[in-house]
Structure 1
Amino acid sequence: MSDTIKDRLRAFIIENFLFGDTDYALEDDASLIDNDVMDSTGVLELIAFIDEAFGIKMADADIVPANLDSLSKITAYVTARKAA
Structure 2
Amino acid sequence: MGKKDAAGVRAGPVDQYRKQIGKQDYKKSKKELKSQKQRAEKKNSAIGVKEVILVLLAFLAVMVAVYAFLFWQLSGKDEQ
Give TM-score, length-normalised by structure 2: 0.22
Structure with bigger gyration radius: 2
Greater RCO (CA < 8 Å, at least 6 residues apart) = 1
Query: Which structure's residues are more often helix, by fraction?
Result: 2
